[in-house]
């Protein structure tokens, strides 16, 4: 009897501070979880803010400029007295530099990926992959210098009428810049092809080259195509190389030996000058940015869908 009351007393005495502590602990845990969740939500917030700002500022722009003029006009002179607001010259510049870049990066990147995945020894791969990563990390402004003051003079020796600002050298340098990107994404896709398929092919007497071209590449097509599409998206959004080397004059042409401004180069050009807030020139860079954002988002989405949907299941 006596002992029972004593234990009862001690338990009530010891439980209540424990309970209090546990409640405090739970609250603290919940608060921490909430803070961490808010941090994770910052990604959603950023996307939302990008879309909101681009639409909000473009909305002001499209009050003055009709959508028809924007998408079909072939002259882009928003800062001139006689202003024209056709985005096509900027889109043409963007596509031309990107196509030149892809013409360089797709074949070389693919060959490098096949080599890394199917031919290179373990040791070579261990050395090559970090180097590819280093290349991705080189600031693009340095490549801009290279395009303007090294590649362009070099090209002018072969083709003397090439202007100092041209899309060709910007595109070529951009192409070299995105080789590592294609190589590493495509290589990942090829390495994901199961070993048994290689072994089956070798057992039939195929050489490495035959196996790579006829077995591995078809099996990894979705990943390789995704690498190309993601590379396009990077080329389209690349800024400093084209702003430095391709010129800042909007020019409706697909001829890479001419100079022309891209969407990104135009944004840089306007931002360098001191435009008043809420002027049409200020709003025009957001309209241009919206087009750029839509283009890259489109390519990224297609890239992800291709990679997910058409992945071969083994």
Partner 1 sequence: MTTEMKASVLKNLDAVRAMIRRHKRNDMLFAMVGLVALMLGLLTLLTLFIDLVMDGYPRFNLQFFSDFPSRRAGSAGLLSAWVGSALVMLVTFLTAVPVGVAAGLYLEEYAPKNWFSDLIEINVSNLAGVPSIIYGLLALGLFVYGFNFGQSILTAGLTLGLLILPIVIVSTREAIRGIPVAIREAAYAVGATKWQVVSDHVVKYSQGGILTGVIIGMSRAIGETAPIITIGALTFIAFLPPSPISDVAPFINFQWLDSGFTVLPIQMFNWLSRPDHAFHINAAATGAIIIVVTLLMNGTAIYLRYKIRKNIKW
Sites for partner 1 among residues 260-289 (CB under 8 A): 264, 267-268, 271-272, 274, 277, 285-286, 289
Query: Site residues for partner 1, window 174-203 (CB under 8 A)?
Result: 176, 179-180, 183
For partner 1, the binding residue among 162, 240, 280, 306 (CB under 8 A) is 240
For 120, the 3-state DSSP assignment is coil
CA end-to-end span of the chain:
72
Distance CA(262)–CA(147), nearest Å, equals: 16
Angle at alpha carbon of residue 56, lines to 267 and 64, rounded to 5°: 75
CA distance 174 to 167: 10
H helix runs in the chain, sequence order: 2-64, 67-72, 88-114, 122-136, 140-146, 152-158, 167-191, 195-203, 208-211, 217-219, 221-237, 240-245, 263-272, 280-309
- As measured in angstroms, the least distance from the Cβ of 106 to partner 1 is 11
Q: How far is the CB of 61 from partner 1 (least distance, A)?
A: 12
In the complex, the smallest distance separating the C-beta of residue 9 from partner 1, rounded to whole angstroms, is 25
- Which residue in the set 53, 59, 66, 71 belongs to the binding site for partner 1 (CB under 8 A)? 53
- Does 101 bind partner 1 (CB under 8 A)? Our answer is no
Tell which positions 69-98 bind partner 1, by CB under 8 A.
Answer: none
In the set 152, 169, 217, 233, which binds partner 1 (CB under 8 A)? 233
32, 64, 72, 74: which one binds partner 1 (CB under 8 A) = 32
The residue among 11 and 46 lying less far from partner 1, judged by its C-beta, is 46
Going by C-alpha positions, the residue among 58, 94, 86 that lies closest to residue 246 is 94
For residue 138, the minimal CB distance to partner 1 (Å) is 6
Closest by alpha carbon to 112, among 198, 213, 35, 186? 186
Tell me which stretch binds partner 1 (CB under 8 A): 6-14, 52-60, 67-75, 250-258. 52-60
Residue number, 14 or 255, with CB nearest to partner 1 = 14
Q: Which two tokens stand for residue 129?
A: 């992959």
Spell out, one character per residue from 105 to 144, where the chain touches partner 1: x when CB under 8 A holds, - when not.
Answer: ---xx-xx-xxx--xx-------x-xxxxxx-xxxxxxxx
Q: How far apart are CB 4 and partner 1 at their closest, in Å? A: 29
If binding is defined by CB under 8 A, does position 297 make contact with partner 1? yes
Closest CB to partner 1 among 6 and 301?
A: 301
Beta carbon of residue 182, minimum distance to partner 1 (angstroms, whole number) = 11
> Does residue 42 bind partner 1 (CB under 8 A)?
yes
251 versus 264: smaller Cβ distance to partner 1:
264
Instruction: Encode 175-205: b = buried (16+ Cβ within 10 Å), e = exposed.
Output: bbbbbbbbbbbbbbbbbebeeeebeebeeee
Contact region for partner 1 (CB under 8 A) — 64-72, 83-91, 216-224, 239-247?
Answer: 239-247
DSSP state of 99: H
Let me know: does 177 contact 238? Beta carbons within 8 Å. yes
171 binds partner 1 (CB under 8 A): no
> How is residue 115 annotated by DSSP?
I
Determine which residue in the list 92, 101, 244, 261 makes contact with partner 1, applying CB under 8 A: 244
Sign of CA dihedral 153, 154, 160, 166: negative
């Amino acid at each position: 009897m006596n002992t029972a009351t004593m234990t009862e007393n001690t338990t009530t005495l010891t439980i209540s501070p424990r309970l209090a502590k546990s409640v405090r602990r739970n609250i603290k845990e919940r608060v921490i979880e909430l803070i961490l969740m808010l941090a994770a939500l910052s990604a959603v917030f950023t996307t939302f803010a990008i879309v909101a700002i681009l639409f909000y500022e473009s909305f002001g722009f499209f009050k003055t400029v009709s959508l028809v003029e924007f998408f079909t006009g072939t002259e882009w002179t928003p800062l001139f007295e006689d202003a024209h607001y056709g985005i096509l010259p900027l889109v043409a510049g963007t596509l031309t530099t990107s196509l030149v870049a892809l013409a360089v990066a797709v074949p070389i990147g693919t060959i490098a990926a096949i080599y890394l995945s199917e031919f290179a020894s373990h040791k070579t791969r261990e050395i090559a992959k970090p180097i590819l990563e280093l290349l991705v990390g080189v600031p693009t402004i340095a490549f801009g210098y290279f395009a303007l003051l090294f590649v362009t003079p070099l090209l002018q020796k072969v083709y003397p009428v090439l202007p100092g600002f041209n899309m060709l050298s910007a595109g070529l340098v951009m192409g070299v810049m995105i080789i590592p990107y294609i190589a590493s994404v495509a290589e990942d896709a090829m390495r994901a092809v199961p070993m048994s398929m290689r072994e089956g092919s070798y057992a039939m007497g195929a050489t490495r080259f035959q196996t790579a071209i006829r077995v591995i590449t078809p099996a990894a097509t979705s990943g390789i195509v995704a690498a190309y599409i993601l590379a396009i998206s990077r080329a389209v959004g690349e800024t400093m190389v084209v702003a430095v080397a391709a010129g800042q004059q909007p020019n409706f042409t697909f001829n890479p030996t001419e100079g022309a401004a891209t969407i990104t180069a135009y944004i840089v050009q306007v931002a360098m000058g001191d435009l008043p807030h809420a002027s049409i020139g200020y709003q025009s860079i957001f309209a241009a940015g919206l087009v750029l954002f839509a283009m890259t988002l489109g390519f990224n989405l297609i890239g992800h869908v291709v990679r997910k949907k058409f992945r071969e299941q083994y």
